[in-house]
Amino acid sequence: MIRALAGAALITLSFNAMSAKTTTATPRPITASDLVRLDRVSDPRLSPDGEHVAFAVRRTDYDANKGVMAVWLMQADGTGAHAATTAEGSHYDPRWSADGRYLYFLSTRSGSPQVWRLDRQRSGEATQVTDLPLDVGSYALAADGKHLAVALEVFADCADLACTKRRLDERADDKRSGMLFDKLFVRHWDTWKNGTRSQLFTLTIGVDGQARGPVQVSKGIDGDVPTKPFGDSGEYGFAPDGATIAFTARIAGSSEPWSTNLDVWLAPTDGSAPPRNLTQDNEAMDTSPVFSPDGGSLAYLSMRRPGFEADRLAVKLYDLKTDRVREVAPDWDRSAGPLQFSTDGKTLYTTADDLGQHRLFAIDVASGKVEGVSGAGHVGGFDVGTGGIVYTYDSLTAPADLYHTDLAGTGHRRLTQFNVERLQHVQFGNYEQFAFAGWNDETVYGYVMKPWNYRKGKKYPVAFIVHGGPQGSMGNDWHYRWNPAIYSGMGYAVVFIDFHGSTGYGQAFTDSITGDWGGKPLVDLQKGWAYALDRYDFLDGERAGALGASYGGFMMNWIAGNWSDAFKCIVNHDGIFDNRSMYYTTEELWFEEWEHGGPQYLVPENYEASNPANFVKNWQTPMLVIHGEKDYRVPPEQGIATFTALQRRGIPSQLLIYPDENHWVLKPQNSVQWHETVEAWLDRWLKQ
C-alpha cells in the first residue's frame, strides 16, 4: 500500500526515473497546436455492478474554435471503449441509475442543455428526460431512480419557469441596453449579473422516463445553488432514500462580495418544508455535502476562518439523528477536495495537494487515519465502487487517462490510451523535483524540466514560471494553459517554485503569504533560482525570462521593480499593477480584504506595502503584457496600466489583448496565438 508521506519528505522525481520515451521515428517537440487538439478525459463513473465505466471526452473542433464533449463507455478492464453519444452537440456529466440500466447525461442536442438518458437494455439513441424552458446548469440523480435535481437560473419573484423565460426573451428584444444595479455583485468572473439566481429544483421521473415538476427546493434562499462561478453538482446530492436533498448556498444579501460564508442546507425532496441550515453556527465556508450510504450522516468540507477562501478545508461529519458534528481527520494538515464514501461507509476518499503532487487519499471514518492511495502525479476525477476505484491521472509529461486501483491503492493499471497516436513521436523533456532552504531557511520545493532536445554539456535559455493563486501549486500535473512541456518543446529549460503561500505543504505554509505578497515569495523565488543555477549546469542564467499569470502576473510587476536585473524579459498575463485600484474594481472583495488585512480605505498602508505601481521608476526589463477584456477578477485596466507604464518609461513592450477571453485563454485558436506570441517574445530576448 502507498502510504501518506510524512513531514517534509521529498517525493523523489529524478531525471533517470522520468526518462523520456524513445521511438524509431525522428523525435519532435510538443507544440501548442498539439496541446489544444489533445483529447481531454474526465469524470469517470463506475456502473453499480462495477463492470462498466462511463466518462467524458472533450475533443477540439479547431475550425469552429471550440471543444465538443461526448460520453464514452468501456468495460471496467479498459476494453471496448467507444463513444456512447454521437448526435450533434455536446454531451457530458454521465451518471448511472442505481440499477445500472440507464446512463443519464446532459446534452445540448435539443438546442439547450437538458437531461437525456440511454437505455442499456435496448439499442437505439438516447431519449430526452427533461424538456424545460431554461438551460439545465447541472443535475443529480436520486438512488431511488424516481427523482432528479436540476439547477436553473431563475428570477426570484417569478412564480414559474415560464415567467423567467418570458422576461429573458423580453430583455433580449428590448432596444435599451442599460443595466441598473443597487448592490454588488454587478459582475462576477466574466459575466455581468442579470438579476437571476441559480436555484435547485427537483423533478419526478415517470415510468415513461419523462421528468415532471419541477419543485423548487431552495425557495426562499437569496443566493446561488450551486454557488457561482464554478459550483456544480458536487455541491448537492440526494439522501439514499431520495426523501431529502442537501446542498450548498451562500446567503447573498448586501454582503455577498466580501463573504465566504457558504452553508450546507437540508430540504425535503418534495418541497413540503423550507430548507434548514445545518451549519449556521460557522460563519466560514461549509460546502460539498455527501450522504453516507446508510443515510445517517452527512460528510462535508469546512473552513474555520470567515473571509479566507484558502483556509484549510477540513472533513466534517454531521450526525443527522443527533445534530452532532465532528472533524474526521483533525491532525491531517492538508486541504481536502471532493469527498466520496466507500460502499460500506467506513472510508472517505478525497484528493489533496501534497508536496507538489495532487494525490488520492483514504480516510478511515472512525479513527481519522489517512493513507495515500496514489503516489507522484495528479489525480483528478475519481469514482469509488465495491471492488475498486477508477480515476484520471496525469503528470508533467502525460495528459489525463483513466486508471484503476483496488480500494487499498495497490495494483494501479491504465485503462485508456487517448492521445497515444498523436504523441507517439513527441519527445518530452525529463524533469526533477528539488528542495532547498527558502525564506527563513524553511524547506521549499520546486521543479526543473530539461529542454526536449537536451544534450549533455550544453547550456539552455530558461523559462522561469511563477504560479498564480497565490494559494495554489505548480507541480507534477498536465496543464492546458501553463504547461512546462510546451516551453521545453520551444527549446527552453523550465524552472518553477512552490513559494511560501503555496498549497500542499501545510496550512501554516499557505497562510504565510497573507499580508506579505512581495516578501517571503520573492525570497523563495530568488533562493530557488540561485539553487537551481548552482545545481543544474545546463541552465543559462544569462538567458532567462520570467513568466506568470494572476498573482504570478503581480509577481512579474513586482520583480520588474524589486529584482530588476534578474531576467532578460518578462511575460505578464492578467497581472495586478496597482493594489489600490484593484480593490475598487475586482468583484470578490473577500480575497483582497483578507490578503491585505481589511478594506483599502481602512488600511491603505497595507495595500501600498507590496504595490507594484510604487516601483515603476525601477523598471527596465522588456515585458509582454497579456490580458482578457472579460477578466473581472483582475480587470483589464490593470494590464493596460502596466503597458502604459512600460511605454511611458521607454521600455520595449507589447500588449496582447483578448476581447473575448476572461481570466484564462480558452478558445483553441486564441490559445495557439497566445503561445506563438509568448514564444516569439522569449526568442527575441533569449535566443537572438
Q: What is the mean pLDDT of residues 159-175?
A: 97
Examine the domain organization and report whether 257 and 278 are in the same domain.
Answer: yes
DSSP 129-195: ----SS---EEEE-TTSSEEEEEEEE-TT-SSHHHHHHHHHHHHH-S------SSS-SEETTEE--S
pLDDT in tens, 636-646: 999 999 999 99
Examine the domain organization and report whether 403 and 468 are in the same domain.
Answer: no
Would you say residue 423 lies in a domain?
no
Q: What is the mean pLDDT of residues 143-163?
A: 95
Residue 411: CATH number of its domain: 2.40.10
Q: How many domains does the chain have?
A: 4
Would you say residue 337 lies in a domain?
no
Examine the domain organization and report whether 515 and 626 are in the same domain.
Answer: yes
pLDDT reported for residue 15: 59
pLDDT reported for residue 123: 81
**Cell reading at 154:** 431563475
Q: What is the mean pLDDT of residues 582-593?
A: 98
Examine the domain organization and report whether 253 and 213 are in the same domain.
Answer: yes
Q: What is the mean pLDDT of residues 548-577?
A: 98
**Band of pLDDT at residue 14, cut at 50, 70 and 90:** low
User: Structural domain of residue 78, as residue ranges?
Assistant: 40-128
Q: Of 418, 450, 476, which residue constitutes the final position of a domain? A: 418
Q: Mind telling me the catalytic residues?
A: 550, 631, 663
677, exposed or middle or buried, with CB in 10 Å at 0-12, 13-18, 19+? middle
**Band of pLDDT at residue 411, cut at 50, 70 and 90:** confident
Q: Of 327, 362, 383, which residue constitutes the final position of a domain? A: 327
**Cell reading at 305:** 476562518
Examine the domain organization and report whether 546 and 677 are in the same domain.
Answer: yes
Amino acid at 522: L
pLDDT in tens, 338-384: 999 999 999 999 999 999 999 999 999 999 999 999 999 999 999 99
Examine the domain organization and report whether 442 and 537 are in the same domain.
Answer: yes
CA pair distance 73, 407, nearest whole angstrom: 22
Q: What is the mean pLDDT of residues 420-441?
A: 97
Q: What is the mean pLDDT of residues 645-669?
A: 98
Examine the domain organization and report whether 569 and 658 are in the same domain.
Answer: yes
Q: What is the mean pLDDT of residues 247-272?
A: 96
Examine the domain organization and report whether 476 and 527 are in the same domain.
Answer: yes
Examine the domain organization and report whether 224 and 289 are in the same domain.
Answer: yes
Q: Map residue 74 onto helix, strand or coil.
A: strand
Examine the domain organization and report whether 144 and 284 are in the same domain.
Answer: yes
pLDDT in tens, 522-537: 999 999 999 999 999 9
Let me know: does 328 contact 310? Beta carbons within 8 Å: no
pLDDT reported for residue 196: 97
pLDDT reported for residue 24: 63
**Cell reading at 261:** 460564508
Which residues are within 8 A (CB) of 211 and not within 5 positions of it... i.e. 6 or more apart?
A: 115, 129, 130, 148, 203, 204, 205
pLDDT reported for residue 200: 98
Q: Map residue 267 onto helix, strand or coil.
A: strand
Q: What is the mean pLDDT of residues 282-302?
A: 98
Would you say residue 348 lies in a domain?
yes
Examine the domain organization and report whether 293 and 370 are in the same domain.
Answer: no
263-268, strands of its sheet edge to edge: 236-238, 244-249, 263-268, 276-277
Examine the domain organization and report whether 103 and 221 are in the same domain.
Answer: no
pTM of the model: 0.95
Q: What percent of the chain has pLDDT over 70?
A: 97
Extract the runs of DSSP E, i.e. beta strands, from 206-324: 211-216, 236-238, 244-249, 263-268, 276-277, 286-291, 297-302, 314-319
Question: How many residues make up the chain in this entry?
Answer: 688
C-alpha distances out from residue 373 to 312, 349, 358, 404, Å: 21, 9, 11, 11
**Cell reading at 339:** 469527498
pLDDT in tens, 438-476: 999 999 999 999 999 999 999 999 999 999 999 999 999
